Structure 1
Amino acid sequence: MELSVTRRQLEFIRSTAFETLFGGAAGGGKSYAQLIDALIFALQYPGSKQLVLRRTFPELKRSLIQVSLSLYPTSIATYGETSHRWKFVNGSVIEFGSCDSENDVTKYQSAEYDVIRFDELTHFTKFQFTYLLSRVRGVNGYPKQVKSSTNPGGVGHGWVKARYIDCLVPGEEKDGRLFLPARVQDNAFLMKNDPDYVHRLELLDERSRKALLYGRWDLFEGQYFGEFSTELHVCVPPDPLPSWWKRYLAIDYGLDMLAALWIALAPDGTAWVYREVYRSGLIISEAAEAIRTAEVGEHIDQRLAPPDLFNRRQETGRSAIDIFADAGLYFDRAMGERVAGWYAVKEYLRPFDDEQGICTAKLKISPVCKNLIRTLPLLTTDPANPNDTANTPHEYTHAPDALRYFAATVQPDGDAWRPDRYDGDVGAFLAYEG
């Protein structure tokens, strides 16, 4: 039996790191490398067990399973249509599985695998990945590994980028992890058999093209705020901030997270996010204390909170806003309509040339606001509503939601929204000019 692989695929197959990610551009031969590597492992280690995962089974069936049926020799292994397993004559097993929902991982609770392989790792949540890490175990003395392949984008883009891209030098193993970047040009077999593939990628929109053709992890398919740019939007604010600039506080609050953003509005309509508090597990009185401590000696012109915090609890007749008021913090109701709010954020992010021809934007974020900078570009489009953002992973939504409440409520000219100006017509509200 003769198998042909590229140089990068061979590096993936030979990797002995506990975690290996083969990721980047589309067409790099990542899935093929997974199947070849799984076959070699199965033959080399009799009685070994491997799990190959995609997020949904239909994706698995039309990709990896279909390819394996044409690739694996039936003289040494048989495939079970019901069990979705390849069983080899030496006792090894390659199992295909999926995790459609967040908690589907529990069906593997009692299982043990020598190798778990994630195809399109960014389609999995961090919880699913870390839970399944515990299934890589056994006393047979065989190598224990997690081998993954992926393109940029998807619900897990943020945690995958943080785990492998931001902290590793490509090709150099560190702390048991290895990242191998994939480029379509590395796949000589694809270039030879389908020379128009690159041309088809070049026809994609700019964001998808950069992600899938060049493997860019800062731009990816499904990203909601493709306008965001660290170079353009992250800037050190004036020190000190002019005292005549209006200052706002916008919060998103729950026991899971207090996300508080302090924003100064310059006379030219530029909003400077100059401070954040991002803390979990705070009851309302503790959240109020954290806010008061952050803004000691500072005058805040307006504090904004989402509409749900104004709802009164039936058993007490009091709202979260009432408890904040007990601590001396008084909030106005922010506009809560999601789509209109996200559109308002996009208006603040929109690049434009100033009078000197320099590209700028109406939103500037201080480098100290690390969580807003981290999470804002990770928001993805809601598959059910392309005008809205997805609500998962929920951890990514807190700081952007606080920004949304500000952007939807305070116009770039500094004229705050008031309830008497809003009659339910979102389009008219967004068109309001003073």
Structure 2
Amino acid sequence: MRRATTVKFKYRPHPKQLQAHRAQVDELLYGGAAGGGKSMFARAEAILLCLRVPGVRVLILRKTFKQMESSVLPKLLEEIPEELAKFHASRYEFTFKNGSVIQLGYLDKDGDLENYQGPEYQLVIFEEASQFPENHYSYLESRLRASGEVAERMEALGLFPRRILTANPTGIGLMWLKRRFVDPYPPEKVWRPKPSEEDPEPGTRVYIPARATDNPSLNKDYLKTLNRLPEDLRRALRDGDWSVLDGVRFSSWRENKHVLKPELFPISLLSGRKVIAVDYGHEAPFAAVWLCKLGNGLIIQYREAYAKGLTPVQQAELIRDLSKDEEEASGEPIEVVADPAMWSRQDAGAHKTKDGSPPVGSQAHAYQTVLNRRPIKANNSRIPGWALLDEKLRIREDGEPRFLVYNTCRDTIRTLPTLPRSKTNPEDLDTSAEDHLADAIRYGVMHLEGKFSNLDGLDDYVDTMDPMETYRIAQAEF
């Protein structure tokens, strides 16, 4: 008769890891800063599920096969006792004695998704999720399900199929991770998105941040290494700051400096010159921002509108309705400065009118009809405009910037800090990014400052200049 033996999985989670293990949600993002023990947590979660529920299948993904082979596999071979599971090199799987499986995989390109069309998984782990595009993450949801005895066993334990992500605030996936997990809700709070046509029954989500200082087993020299990194990279990897992005256009953005609570400076006290700036869109979102310039050069953005699928008339009606109380209180309409493209017509009619008003049939004319005032064509000089915004965002010697945003302007706070630089012109934005609110802000700030509104031929001149020379000249205008 064979004597029973006890085999232990040697793992003692630190408090932050334990918090993540206890968070039973459909989607969990763990990490942020480097050194917080995120990879160990993810591997432990996979192993523990396999031990608790006979027959489950877990998929652990890295971006490339080489990354999987050099980082995840050696750790699992070290951590999983041979008495519990056998590694099959031909399939890149650990098969447990109770029938559970941990499969190791990679997703480097769209074609790699075909490798995961057949099996169903009860847990999918994206290691270093910021290296993946969002469509790869979304696709694997279709493989996430449980059936038969596995489903019954999981239900008896109060478990369900889910996804776990580990990530730092760097890489191509930073923006979608920030949008999906970090921006909508405070850290460590479980929440559920509102139902929509695309997702009528959304699952629960949570972001649990962890820093190197949360990991008591971390070598102290590693923290010293993080402290020596360049500022932006240090903020990302040491502090887990999701507002920092390698190659981000507005790297001076600091949420604790640029975001203002309305009650600290209510609209009733905004007595400076105001403007509503608009970037037109229909299939892409239309964006409008309400800006006020105070006597000390400070510009405050106190309202935003951001929506797609609205006609020009509907956009103008929304602006009118949002401004109504404010305009009635002051007795004056607020200037509207708008995207120059709104003055064009689709029917090849004249683009100029005798009195300077927008041509009939144009989007600007629809605005004029609804708002009962003529919109002003914005200055669309991109490089000087971004340079001007740089100057307003810059933290001065007094410790404060000259551009603040109400914390109710959530889409501005979400998009502006993450906009990437153009790869061909580092002083410009990558126009494929979600830059609609940034463009509206640029129109409004340039209009309020009035420095570039009459520089004829500036666009042609800028095109022939070195980007850094352009920046210096733009700075000299202030």
Q: Shared topology, TM-score over 0.5?
A: yes
Partner residue of 1:77 out of 77, 86, 91: 86
1:32, 1:420 → 2: CA distance? 60
1:382, 1:199 → 2: CA distance? 33
Higher strand content, 1 or 2? 1
Tell me how far 1:27 sits from its aligned partner.
1.3
SS at the partner of 2:338? strand
- In the other structure, the counterpart of 1:332 is 377
Structure 1 residues 111, 404: closer, same or farther in 2, change over 3 A? farther
SS at the partner of 2:388? helix
Stretches of structure 1 that go unaligned for 5 or more consecutive residues are none
1:350, 1:89 → 2: CA distance? 60
Structure 1 residues 369, 215: closer, same or farther in 2, change over 3 A? closer
- In the other structure, the counterpart of 2:402 is 362
SS at the partner of 1:334? coil
Q: Deviations over 1:256-286 (max 9, x none)?
A: 3111112233444332323322122112332
Tell me how far 1:216 sits from its aligned partner.
4.0
Structure 1 residues 19, 300: closer, same or farther in 2, change over 3 A? closer
1:281, 1:22 → 2: CA distance? 35
Stretches of structure 2 that go unaligned for 5 or more consecutive residues are 1-6, 192-202, 352-357, 369-373, 463-468
Q: Deviations over 1:307-342 (max 9, x none)?
A: 5x55654x65588985223322544243253x5543
Q: Please tell me the residue identity of whatever aligns with 2:405.
A: I
- Alignment map for 1:15-414 (pairs within 5 Å): 16-72=24-80, 76-80=85-89, 83-88=91-96, 90-100=98-108, 108=116, 111-124=119-132, 129=137, 132-139=140-147, 140-141=150-151, 142=154, 143=159, 144-153=161-170, 154-155=174-175, 156-162=177-183, 165-166=186-187, 168=189, 177=205, 179-191=207-219, 195-217=220-242, 219=244, 223-235=248-260, 236=265, 239=268, 241-242=270-271, 245=273, 247-295=275-323, 297=327, 298-301=332-335, 303-305=337-339, 307=341, 309=342, 313=346, 323-327=362-366, 328=368, 329-335=374-380, 337=382, 340-353=384-397, 358-380=398-420, 387-389=427-429, 394=433, 396-407=434-445, 409-410=446-447, 412=449, 414=450
1:160, 1:6 → 2: CA distance? 23
- In the other structure, the counterpart of 2:199 is none
Tell me how far 1:349 sits from its aligned partner.
0.5
Tell me how far 1:25 sits from its aligned partner.
2.4
SS at the partner of 2:238? helix
Structure 1 residues 257, 95: closer, same or farther in 2, change over 3 A? same
Partner residue of 1:420 out of 456, 464, 467: 456
- In the other structure, the counterpart of 2:355 is none
Tell me how far 1:87 sits from its aligned partner.
4.1
Contact 1:262 1:273 in 2 (8 A): yes
Contact 2:381 2:458 in 1 (8 A): no
1:340, 1:419 → 2: CA distance? 11
Structure 1 residues 157, 234: closer, same or farther in 2, change over 3 A? closer
Contact 1:158 1:378 in 2 (8 A): no
Q: Please tell me the residue identity of whatever aligns with 1:425.
A: Y
Tell me how far 1:255 sits from its aligned partner.
2.1
Q: Please tell me the residue identity of whatever aligns with 1:402.
A: A
Tell me how far 1:366 sits from its aligned partner.
3.4
Contact 1:251 1:261 in 2 (8 A): no
RMSD over aligned Cα atoms: 3.9
Structure 1 residues 385, 120: closer, same or farther in 2, change over 3 A? farther
1:10, 1:423 → 2: CA distance? 57
Contact 1:18 1:146 in 2 (8 A): yes
Q: Deviations over 1:221-271 (max 9, x none)?
A: 66543422344333435525437x263523242323111112233444332
Q: Please tell me the residue identity of whatever aligns with 2:14.
A: R
Structure whose CA Rg is larger: 2
